[in-house]
Chain A
Amino acid sequence: MSANAVGWAVADSWTMTRRELAHWGRQPVQVVVGLVFPVMLLLMFGFLIGGGKGVQGDYVDFLVPGMLALTMAFGLEATMLAVTQDLNKGVIDRFRSMPMTSGAVLVGRAVADMLQSAAGLVILVGVGWAVGWRWHGGPLAFLGALGLLLLLRFAMLWVGIHLAMVAGRPEMVQAVQILVWPVGFLSSVFAAPASMPDWLGRVVQWNPLSATATAVRDLFGSPAAAASSWPAEHAGLLAVVWPVVLVAVFFPLAVRRFGRLNQ
């Protein structure tokens, strides 16, 4: 790509991001619901359902980092839904028949979703603080934790964009959504893997979500999910490697697939 082409790619991506932001302006209720839902989940699990199994120390300190990670992972659904709805709109045909950078439509989606998730993260951290959660690490560790969370979201974004294009129709997304929940719950978000049956605990530890949740707990200085196994001890590494691998696989797949829509 020439410098000029890169410049246009950036400009086109920015135009497409503005389009998504303009949609927010038109659908404020949807945006608010998207932000409130994880807060409800946090309050529900924190207070209604109560203490997690095998957790040493304060459950809220354990739960909040897990919920942050879960919210990032569930962003997959929002992305998928938005992409399938978008691809079924006629306007995509116009974009594809124009001399614009073809990936810009996807980048616009990506930036908008990351902005929404970052906002969601800030709100959730605020609510967590309000209900008594505290982090015990330094400011760098805190920012590192947020970075890992957004990295997981970024990976889920490209997984979501690709799966949405494979699924095609919004109805198909529901099928995937049903599968997302067990993946979300078969993790160390709510309970320590050590409290689970041995085989299940082992699966759960290797879940990318568990890696991020555990690494974020370490960085926050939150109570650990008492377990000494390779994936638990190298959670920080896994919390970087997992998302990077997912992005490396799904980003090119998604861009390629978008270029070949309706072929």
Chain B
Amino acid sequence: MSLTGAHADDAAIVVEGAQKRYGQKRALDGLDLVVRRGTVHGVLGPNGAGKTTIVRILATLLRHDAGRVEVAGYDVRSRPAEVRRRIGLLGQHAAVDEELGGRQNLEMFGRLYHLGARRAGERADELLARFGLADTGSKAVGKYSGGMRRRLDLAASLITDPQVLFLDEPTTGLDPRGRAEVWGAVRSLVGGGTTVLLTTQYLEEADQLADRITVVDRGRAVAEGTPDDLKRTVGGDRIDVVLRDARHLDAAAALVGPDAETDAYRRRISAPVADRMAALARTVRALEAAGIEAEDIALRRPTLDEVFLHLTKETEPGDFADEEVVA
């Protein structure tokens, strides 16, 4: 399977066979990833898939052991300075000075980007206004709310209008409003031609923002395509059955179909169907005959959640009942 179909000339990010080990642990195990210029690319994966590892390698914070890794046409290992001139980074954890104020932070970063003292100050004010932080005064960033800190972090990664922007789980831990704000900011960037690499555990986020998605599991790309492509890989329509009593889950799953997936927490069974109405009728009858009570039965299109579970299950069975991944 070739995941690297794009031509190198219009690629902002090229990762080929990247390997990274921490001691015995293989964090990246031959990862392939190509991101075209001016697109938003989602990297989707469960906890420990290697998302942060690849972002840190791309941002020159970590060295990979083997493979080819290029950003904006420059090798991250041999030309880190060229790469750093062209990237912005929003790491998984806040990368601002918590003891200083928001403006102090942005002005400091502006100086370090060699904007000059005056321009650094102006740029800080522009960004503060743009991210709704203009009235924070000299309050230390450590006292900001999570959403404010994230926005300041994002502002800091945009000081020089980077060609390539890395966002590592940009909205994890934010409330819906904070999330919407970050999404809005990302969308407005893309209009300006920035290439964005976005990692996330939220499938909705990838669906909303990304032009293409790479699903990563255990340090490897397990699928790549547009959100629609990926939904198609799981197949057509699905039937969902929610039971009144979770104890009947396995018995009911056997009745619904051979490929049925169960979710004990939601008391739900989900299975692909070929013949919509016939399958619905068959399922209702079978459950009735078995005396299993259903709370809800419905037909629907697959979601990215299912794509994700389907793909990551192939390599690591039974490990994803975990609420965070499913949510």
Contact = CB atoms under 8 A, between A and B. Distances in A.
Interface of A: 8, 11-12, 15, 18-19, 22-23, 26-27, 89-100, 104, 262-263
A98 B60 CA distance: 9
A12 B115 CA distance: 11
Contact of A97 (B87, B97, B98): B87
B89 interface: yes
Interface string B99-132: 1100010001101111000000000000000000
Nearest to B93: A90
Give the size range of B's interface with the partner: 20 to 34
A99 B113 contact: yes
Contacts of B113: 98-100
B96 interface: yes
Contacts of B108: 15, 18-19
Interface string B64-99: 000000000000000001001101010101111111
Interface of B: 56, 59-63, 81, 84-85, 87, 89, 91, 93-100, 104, 108-109, 111-114, 140, 156-157
B97 to A, nearest CB: 5
Contact of B100 (A12, A26, A92): A26
A87 to B, nearest CB: 13
A130 to B, nearest CB: 34
A93 B111 contact: no
A91 B81 CA distance: 18
B139 to A, nearest CB: 11
Given A96-B60, A97-B61, A89 B98 contact: yes
5 nearest A-B residue pairs (beta carbon): A94-B95, A90-B95, A99-B84, A100-B112, A99-B85
B114 A26 contact: no
A65 B254 CA distance: 86
A263 B63 contact: yes
Given A18-B108, A22-B100, A11 B62 contact: no
Contact of B99 (A27, A95, A99): A27
B60 A97 contact: yes
24 contacts: A8-B114, A11-B114, A12-B112, A15-B108, A15-B111, A19-B108, A23-B100, A26-B99, A90-B93, A91-B96, A93-B89, A93-B91, A94-B91, A94-B95, A94-B96, A94-B157, A96-B61, A97-B61, A98-B113, A99-B84, A99-B113, A262-B61, A262-B62, A263-B63
Contacts of A22: 99-100, 104
A90 B60 contact: no
A94 B99 contact: no
B89 A94 contact: yes
A18 B63 CA distance: 30
B104 A263 contact: no
B112 A15 contact: yes
B99 A263 contact: no
Contacts of A15: 108, 111-112
B99 A97 contact: no
B133 to A, nearest CB: 17
Contacts of A26: 99-100, 140
Contact of B95 (A27, A91, A104, A263): A91
